[in-house]
């Protein structure tokens, strides 16, 4: 094989799951990386001889998968009070008595450290693209967090026009902040400026209409929270006389540029409107379980997928979902689908994994750029170490073993946009050990300043 494009790196593996539709796993294969792109895929021996000077990552004992997508992650606020919010609080208290006070006391430096720590954990678990969930006060510092780790994602700024809450503003102020993020990220090779609102019933009609228009006009995405519980339905019904998705559809907000986080408690008419508008959903099943929000009873995400809807998996926050490990969410999504249907034949490991890779990319409108190991796409690749105990003996079905026997802890090396950002389980662009003391100091100051834990 001759290749006209010189490779900077060869990623080799016993097994390559490209996640291209219908593609079988490749064996003894390699991926040639040039710049930030995948430039060739083929037999390992051929690619190595075609690019004899390129360094080789992986090889025997590794499985290559596409870098994973996390479609809903709060990169600030919860991180520095990780695993601190009790898991037996009444609905709403975790957010209004803990998370929001933590955000209110967050400094710019807290934002950068939080994002850096969260994205290190994400990268170490094979996640190379993260959708920030919409609660960022200092986007420049969160963008620095993306650069500290070398991964990609989408980023907006805190967007709500409620009274008396931190980082709130008028409609114009909120939109100006979103435009500032778009300027900040313009030309960034890995991070796209999105419009982000908090959502729920914490946005005026005027704000959500203008925000959706801004996203459309700037050819980018918008994300906001809606209906993880039935509280948004009750609130919209009393304010507007219609369920949330019906009301937003009437306002002209919905469309293929919209990624709604959660959408757990939706009725049939709402699902119909969301499907008809090609609105995507970010599905974070661990959060609903930890918060007791009723996904096992009300969740219809697999039905949404069956009817052609776009769905991506997410992890949410470090006190709601907790582990930033999309592979864990993949297994949970498959298990929940089977159990709630009382039908083991539905939504297997491969289909669930699709919604953390190519299906997730499609939900973000980025299927041409990320989500599969395909020539021309961004070189986002996770190498799974298949020598650990959970991989012995090797199953002939690598997807079953990856999803049901393993999780993000099997990921050993990660390439993002052509750069090795995790090597032997450690981030390469930043020394993780130097962050530990700072994280403890910032945690203690934040808990004190936010008046938490009393």
Judged by the rule CB under 5 A, the positions of this chain that interact with Zn ion are 133, 316
313 forms beta bridges with 283
Burial class (CB in 10 A: 0-12, 13-18, 19+), 207: buried
Q: How far apart are CA 91 and CA 182, in angstroms?
A: 34
Beta strand residue intervals within 241-364, DSSP E = 258-262, 280-283, 311-313
What is the token pair recorded at 3? 């290749």
**Between 134 and 365, CB nearer to Zn ion:** 134
Q: Which residue bears the tokens 């050990």?
A: 433
Give CA–CA dist 238/255, Å, rounded: 25
Minimal distance, residue 222 CB to Zn ion, in Å: 14
- 3 state DSSP class of 40: strand
Nearest residue to Zn ion, using CB? 133
User: Which residues lie across from 16 on neighbouring strands?
Assistant: 26, 64
**Residue number with CB closer to Zn ion (63 or 260):** 260
Between 103 and 216, name the residue whose CB sits nearer to Zn ion.
Answer: 103
- Residue 375: closest CA among 10, 32, 26, 29: 32
Closer Cβ to Zn ion, 315 or 373, answer by number: 315
Taking the complex as a whole, how short is the minimal distance between the CB of residue 316 and Zn ion, in angstroms?
5
In the complex with Zn ion, the residue whose CB is nearer, 96 or 387, is 96
Give me the least distance between CB of 228 and Zn ion, in Å please.
8
Q: How far is the CB of 380 from Zn ion (least distance, A)?
A: 23
CB of 198 to Zn ion, least distance (A): 9
Q: How far is the CB of 354 from Zn ion (least distance, A)?
A: 23
Here the tokens at position 312 are 């991506």
Euclidean distance between CA atoms 329 and 122, whole angstroms: 13
18 or 73: CB nearest Zn ion: 73
CA distance 7 to 50: 9
């Amino acid at each position: 094989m001759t290749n006209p494009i010189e490779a900077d790196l060869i990623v080799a593996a016993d097994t390559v799951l490209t996640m291209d539709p219908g593609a079988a796993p490749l064996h003894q294969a390699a991926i040639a990386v040039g710049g930030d792109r995948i430039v060739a895929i083929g037999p390992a021996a051929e690619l190595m001889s075609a690019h004899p000077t390129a360094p080789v990552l992986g090889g025997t004992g590794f499985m290559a998968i596409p870098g994973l997508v996390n479609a809903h992650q709060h990169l600030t606020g919860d991180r520095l009070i990780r695993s601190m919010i009790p898991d037996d609080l009444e609905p709403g208290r975790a957010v209004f008595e803990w998370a929001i006070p933590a955000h209110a006391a967050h400094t710019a430096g807290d934002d950068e450290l939080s994002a850096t720590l969260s994205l290190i954990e994400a990268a170490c678990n094979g996640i190379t693209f993260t959708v920030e969930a919409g609660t960022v006060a200092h986007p420049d510092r969160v963008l620095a967090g993306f650069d500290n780790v070398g991964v990609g994602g989408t980023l907006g700024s805190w967007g709500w026009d409620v009274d008396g809450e931190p980082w709130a503003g008028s409609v114009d102020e909120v939109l100006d902040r979103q435009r500032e993020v778009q300027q900040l990220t313009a030309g960034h090779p890995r991070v796209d400026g999105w419009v982000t609102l908090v959502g729920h019933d914490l946005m005026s009609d005027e704000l959500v209409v203008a925000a959706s228009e801004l996203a459309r006009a700037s050819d980018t995405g918008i994300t906001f929270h809606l209906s993880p519980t039935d509280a948004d339905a009750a609130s919209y019904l009393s304010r507007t006389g219609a369920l949330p998705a019906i009301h937003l559809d009437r306002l002209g907000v919905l469309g293929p540029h919209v990624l709604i986080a959660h959408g757990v408690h939706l009725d049939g008419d709402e699902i119909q409107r969301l499907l008809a508008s090609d609105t995507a959903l970010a599905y974070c099943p661990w959060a609903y379980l930890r918060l007791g929000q009723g996904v096992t009873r009300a969740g219809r995400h697999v039905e949404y997928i069956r009817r052609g809807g776009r769905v991506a998996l997410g992890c949410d926050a470090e006190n709601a979902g907790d582990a930033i490990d999309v592979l864990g969410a993949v297994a949970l999504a498959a298990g929940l689908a089977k159990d709630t249907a009382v039908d083991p034949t539905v939504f297997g490991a491969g289909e669930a994994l699709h919604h953390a890779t190519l299906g997730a990319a499609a939900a973000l409108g980025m299927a041409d750029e990320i989500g599969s190991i395909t020539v021309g796409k961004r070189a986002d690749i996770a190498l799974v170490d298949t020598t650990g105990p959970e991989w012995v003996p090797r199953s002939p079905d690598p997807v079953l073993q990856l999803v049901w026997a393993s999780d993000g802890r099997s990921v050993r090396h990660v390439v993002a946009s052509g750069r090795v950002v995790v090597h032997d389980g450690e981030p390469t662009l930043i020394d993780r050990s130097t962050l530990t003391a700072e994280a403890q100091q910032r945690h203690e100051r934040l808990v004190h300043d936010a008046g938490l834990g009393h």
